[in-house]
Amino acid sequence: MGEMWQLKVPMLELVFRSILIYVAILIGMRLFGKREVGQFTLFDLALVLLVGNAVQPAITGPDTSLTGGIVITVTLFLLNRIVNFLTVRSRVLRDIIEGRPTVIARGGHWLRRALAQEGLTPDDCLPALRDHGVETVESVDLAVLEVDGTLSVVPKGAGLRRGNRVLGEHV
């Protein structure tokens, strides 16, 4: 019974391993784009499950103790809280970690280069357009892939508002 509480790896090593894997996964998610967050496919789900399974030994090493699991869990939650705290306070860090929204359609046309940079095709985006009540890209004034992977759509004729004024109209 006492063995389940005894660390087989020094506590600081578990903390360091957890931090390195967290950073590696954060970088991987950032490099593979917004699609990973907002539009999980069956392949994306398989990837996440496999990555989680693959990195577990890298975090724990030979330690299988309950204490080690608690140390790792607390480390990951604290690290996530710290990253959140820093990104809320630093625009530069937020842009690095979260990225920026990407305009993928404007004036009824797909922006092919932007789609390619995000690893998307027009067919990937059509369901999101339909969710916004728009059948085709020709009916879109503006479509933006947000940092969380969702698609914001402004249909033609809707206009963008700033205060009480519709942008593009002369008051």
139 secondary structure, DSSP code: G
What confidence tier does 167 reach under pLDDT thresholds 50, 70, 90? very low
Q: What is the pLDDT of residues 46-57, one digit of tens each?
A: 887 888 888 888
Q: What percent of the chain has pLDDT over 70?
A: 87
- Kindly give the residue spans of alpha helices, DSSP state H, lying in 9-153: 11-31, 35-38, 42-60, 66-89, 91-98, 112-117, 122-131
Superfamily of domain 102-157: bsu07140 like domains (3.30.240.20)
Q: What percent of the chain has pLDDT over 90?
A: 43
Which residue ranges make up each domain of the chain? 2-98, 102-157
pTM above 0.85, yes or no: no
The pLDDT value given to residue 46: 82
